[in-house]
Amino acid sequence: MKKVVKFGGSSLASAEQFEKVGNIIRADESRVYVVPSAPGKRDSSDTKVTDLLYKIYGLIKADKPYIKVLEQIKLRYAQIIRGLGLKVSLSKEFEEIRKKLEKGAGEMYVISRGEYLNGKIMAAYLGYDFVDAANVIRFNDDETLDAEETYKLMRTHLDAHERAVIPGFYGSKKNGEVVTFSRGGSDITGSLVARAVKADIYENWTDVSGFMVADPRIVKGAQVIHTITYSELRELAYMGASVMHEDAIFPVSQVGIPINIRNTNDPSAEGTMIVERTSRISKYTITGIAGMKGFVSLSLEKDKMNTAIGFCRKALTAFEESGISVEHMPSGIDTMSVIVRQKDFAEKEQQVISRIEELCQPDHMEIESDLALIAVVGRGMRSTRGTAGRLFSALAHSHINIKMIDQGSSELNIIIGVASVDFDEAIKAIYSVFVDANL
Ligand code: ASP
């Protein structure tokens, strides 16, 4: 059994958090490759080390002194080292960073140092080898990931280390220049390592006990999802639910390595298992609910639209020409609606409207803004009768008007559109009928 374990910033924010992480790793021999983030916030008023590094870069660009912020970062690491009773010193590393800053280091190099330094401490604390991510994660010249080369480099380098710490978030181009992923990218590093070393499982340790059935800010005490498939996760993530970086899913899902989301502050909780497929029937008909506000629907009406060949295509052309991605397209016999993101549509609306007039000559056109879309997702819906019925009656009981319905052909999700003002109530009503009442 071989596990790759990634720890997020809040799991490594202080010496106390490092100790929890140390206990977790030592409790299981198979946790052989460790991917740390940079130290995160210790409390809500604190600043993440990565954000301090961004600040340094900003100050340098503005020709302002940055030494105070660098001292603040040094202090954060010194406190962790002291708190853990370690003998390591990072003065050599800090000296090198300072020199590079003076020579005009690039932004990605600067912001990657949080993970680099934390990796050094983590390796010393665990007694694991340190493998610099710059040597094993390869980016192309255009800063996209060269996955094949990365796997190759990882296999050669990591084979030589039975147990190693590989800092998250960054890698390098062939010429050695450091490149980072987007924010939260240590999740991707963990996923790439897991795939390269053919891990049995990729554990992603964070500060929540897994992926919740609904956003806990809306549904207080929302339950944790025990097992979710990659496709379900994708549907929910697309609708705004997030526990990890979206790009971290593909490297492991393609080869069927499960991801286990765990809580560093509650290691006995099983967390959420994300798997390719499962025979585990979910506890409820639905697996999760997620949604987003900020959509617009543009509805078109034209007599005999059903026989007007090419009508839909022409309408969609107007959106395509303006570079607007279409989210949904519910249609009736003589009507069709196009649902798009408000922020994409707002600045180009007049252009789209006049193009539709020109191409489609509709009898009537109506725009409705401030819509919210809610995805109700679950592999269990395919085999359960009456899911849609229960969903709609729950919303009716809560006096919520449904503006749009779209059931994906895979029967994995039902998407409904409601007014933004009804968003929270709608999610609560759906949660309550499927989870609280367990119907
Ligand atoms: N430290 C980086 C960030 O704050 C990357 C990560 O934590 O995954 O975004």
For 21-67, write each residue's pLDDT tens digit. 999 999 999 999 999 999 999 999 999 999 999 999 999 999 999 99
What single letter denotes the amino acid at residue 410?
S
Task: Quote the ligand 1 centre to 227 CA distance (angstroms).
Answer: 26
Backbone angles phi, psi at 376, to 5 degrees: -110, 115
Distance separating alpha carbons of residues 120 and 272, to the nearest angstrom: 29
Mutate-to-test residue for ligand 1 from 55, 115, 204, 242, highest number of ligand atoms within 8 A of CB: 115
Q: Provide mean pLDDT across the span 380-398.
A: 89
Ligand 1: which residue has its CA nearest to atom 6?
184
* Full-model pTM: 0.89
Distance separating alpha carbons of residues 122 and 314, to the nearest angstrom: 58
Task: Quote the ligand 1 centre to 110 CA distance (angstroms).
Answer: 13
Task: Quote the ligand 1 centre to 39 CA distance (angstroms).
Answer: 9
Rounded to the nearest 5 percent, the helix, strand and coil shares of the chain are: 45, 20, 35
Task: Quote the ligand 1 centre to 223 CA distance (angstroms).
Answer: 26
Task: Quote the ligand 1 centre to 9 CA distance (angstroms).
Answer: 7
Mutate-to-test residue for ligand 1 from 169, 192, 243, highest number of ligand atoms within 8 A of CB: 169
Length of the chain measured in residues: 439
Mutate-to-test residue for ligand 1 from 53, 122, 186, highest number of ligand atoms within 8 A of CB: 186
Closest atom, ligand 1, to C-alpha of 181: 5
Mutate-to-test residue for ligand 1 from 10, 12, 50, highest number of ligand atoms within 8 A of CB: 50
Of residues 202, 169, 197, 170, the one with CA closest to residue 184:
169
For 112-121, write each residue's pLDDT tens digit. 999 999 999 9
Predicted local confidence at residue 426, as pLDDT: 97
Q: Which two tokens stand for residue 355?
A: 């193009």
Task: Quote the ligand 1 centre to 66 CA distance (angstroms).
Answer: 21
Ligand 1 neighbours by CB, cut-off 6 Å: 9, 37-38, 48, 50, 114, 168-169, 183-186
Closest atom, ligand 1, to C-alpha of 180: 5
What rounded mean pLDDT belongs to the chain?
A: 94
The yes-or-no verdict on residue 438 having pLDDT over 80 is no
Predicted local confidence at residue 427, as pLDDT: 97
Residue pair 413/235 in contact (Cβ under 8 Å)? The answer is yes
Q: At what angle do helices 107-126 and 15-26 cross, to 10 degrees?
A: 60
Residue pair 295/417 in contact (Cβ under 8 Å)? The answer is yes
Distance separating alpha carbons of residues 432 and 391, to the nearest angstrom: 10
The yes-or-no verdict on residue 285 having pLDDT over 90 is no
The yes-or-no verdict on residue 91 having pLDDT over 90 is yes
DSSP 422: G
* 3 state DSSP class of 7: strand
Predicted local confidence at residue 439, as pLDDT: 65
The residues facing 405 across adjacent strands are 416
Sign for the pseudo-dihedral over CA of 387, 392, 393, 394? positive
Task: Quote the ligand 1 centre to 41 CA distance (angstroms).
Answer: 11
The yes-or-no verdict on residue 373 having pLDDT over 80 is yes
For 270-283, write each residue's pLDDT tens digit. 999 999 888 777 78
Other Cβ atoms within 10 Å of 102 Cβ, number: 9
